[in-house]
A and B are shown apart, each in its own frame.
Chain A
Amino acid sequence: MHIPDGFIPITQGIIYWIIALVFIALALRWARKELSEEKVPIVAVLAAAIFALQAFNLPVGMGTSGHLVGGALAAIVLGSPFAAVFILSIVLIIQGVIFGDGGLTTMGVNIINMGVIGGFVGFYGYTGIKAVIKNPYVSAGIAAWFACLIPALAASVELWVAGTFPLVPGLIAMGTYHAAIGIIEGVVTAAAVYLIIHARPDLMDIKTGAAV
């Protein structure tokens, strides 16, 4: 769902960039305050790791494969949606400038989709669902599924606003594909959270409620 250059008119690209910059500034402030100022390097190292985790080819079933976005995982483990904004912004800058995946004028919109929307949906989805069902792993899985689906739907709305793809077919195509890919994102995130809670319980920021 990395929107490439040319698919969003320059004026809209600038607006998305400004919104993204506001969130990057907020994420930087979060990192300084919550990570006791100097721990920012840990996030930088985690960003590199998320990039590597995205490389794993995961079986979705029926011959399809998908890969992780990782925003929900980062937000859940580090206990803030801004962790995802921070980490995915860095990842998207590298992907856009070095690999050419995504774009320069569309980097703002991609940061909004995968970092901001993905991070917020992942984190608040997790805390909200966990308050109801009390199971951190299932909550993490469902939240990660939404964190994969909703940014994809947002991308199709943005392409519609840009006039480069019609709304309904876009929502159907992107929605179906990412609803399927989201299953693997959800299951793998749940398994990873399960492992992290059991191996490094001190690492998870929020009270998980799980018997460790």
Chain B
Amino acid sequence: MIEDLFLIEKQSYRESHIHSLDARVKILVAFAAIIAVVSVPYSTAVYTVGAIFFIFFAVLWALSRLPVSVYFWRLAMVLPFGIFIIFFQIFFENRYYEVFHPIVTLPLNIHIYAESVQFASILLVKFLVCISFIILLSSTTRMQHLLEGAGRLGFPPEFALILGMMIRYLFVFAYMYRKVTESLETRCFDPFNRVVPWKYRVRMLGYTIGTMFIRAYEQGERTYLAMLCRGYGKDSHLYVTKKAIKGYEWAFLAASFALIISTPVLVWTGIVNFF
């Protein structure tokens, strides 16, 4: 996953109206959208809410001028586990329906139920909308800005310091990971080469991982000493400058929240329903 770090960060360095929005605004909108979608009970109301939210996301994505391929690439990266649960859902009964009607009967008394297919699709909608907003947030906001934004929103400063260091060193270790894997390759070491005994391959990988752990620890020690030299102490924390949210950012935030809150309410009360 760390291999994709540079590509993700590269996207967030582009320029657009969405990229230039204050990180706080983007964090609040993305988190609110996710919480709103998750809060909608497992019912067909999710379809309409999901559709409206997805259109909202698509508009923001278009405004960010990021290629659609980036979205699909990032989606493919995180789908497997969720898709696994969603796919197998169709064979099981769940507690959200009273009666189950088999639509397909397979050998070994396995059934595919109409209700379970519907439930699986509800899960899929929730899953996709939530992932989309996270992708939008991290593709349009630099990690450092996210951290500062979180700090301004009241994220504990000492925890922000730790997270900030983690982010900074994430890139160092992404490089190290790349160098280590490249050097393994130049030595023609393939972890999946069956000609080489499994025991040997795993031992080498174990040592590589152990070495990286030690290197990280030593890097940590050096960093810590360097920080001490620069006056770091137990009361140090990440200093985040004050920054005002501009008028148009307030307007965007207000409009987004109005949409995010009113959509589930209107759908739940039956005033709006697409499906």
Contacts and interface: CB of A to CB of B under 8 A. Distances in A.
Interface string B29-73: 001001101110110000000000000000000000000000000
A47 B35 CA distance: 27
Interface in B95-111: 95-96
Contact of B177 (A2, A4, A55, A101): A55
Interface string A92-131: 0111111111011100000000000000000000000000
Given A38-B234, A53-B212, A163-B94, A104 B88 contact: no
Contact of B89 (A98, A165, A187): A165
Given A45-B223, A59-B192, A163-B95, A99 B212 contact: no
B138 A97 contact: yes
Contacts of A94: 163, 166-167, 170
Contact of B2 (A40, A52, A195): A52
Question: Dominant SS at the B interface?
Answer: helix
A26 interface: no
A37 B234 contact: yes
B39 A42 contact: no
A18 interface: no
B65 to A, nearest CB: 20
Contact of B220 (A45, A58, A98): A45
Interface in A135-180: 159, 163-166, 169, 173
A41 B127 contact: no
A104 B165 contact: no
Which secondary structure dominates chain A's binding surface?
A: helix
Contacts of A96: 134
A212 interface: no
Interface residues of A, number: 73
A44 B137 CA distance: 23
B209 A203 contact: no
Most buried by B among A5, A68, A100: A100
Contacts of A190: 206
Contacts of A43: 162, 220
B260 to A, nearest CB: 14
A194 interface: yes
14 contacts: A1-B81, A5-B37, A5-B131, A7-B82, A48-B172, A53-B212, A58-B205, A90-B163, A98-B146, A104-B35, A104-B130, A163-B95, A188-B209, A195-B206
A55 B209 contact: no
B173 A52 contact: yes
8 closest A-B pairs by beta carbon, nearest first, are A191-B206, A6-B126, A49-B216, A195-B210, A42-B220, A192-B210, A5-B130, A45-B220
A207 interface: no
Contacts of A1: 81
B213 interface: yes
B8 A98 contact: yes
Contacts of A41: 162, 165, 220, 223-224, 227, 232
B213 A53 contact: yes
A38 B228 contact: yes
Contacts of A173: 88
A3 B123 CA distance: 12
A163 B92 CA distance: 11
B183 interface: no
Contacts of B13: none
A199 interface: yes
Given A41-B224, A105-B38, 20 more contacts: A6-B126, A6-B129, A9-B41, A10-B35, A13-B38, A38-B224, A48-B216, A49-B212, A49-B213, A49-B215, A55-B2, A59-B201, A59-B202, A98-B138, A100-B138, A101-B1, A105-B34, A163-B94, A195-B206, A196-B214
A193 B221 CA distance: 19
Interface in A1-42: 1-7, 9-10, 13, 28, 32, 37-42
A13 B181 CA distance: 38
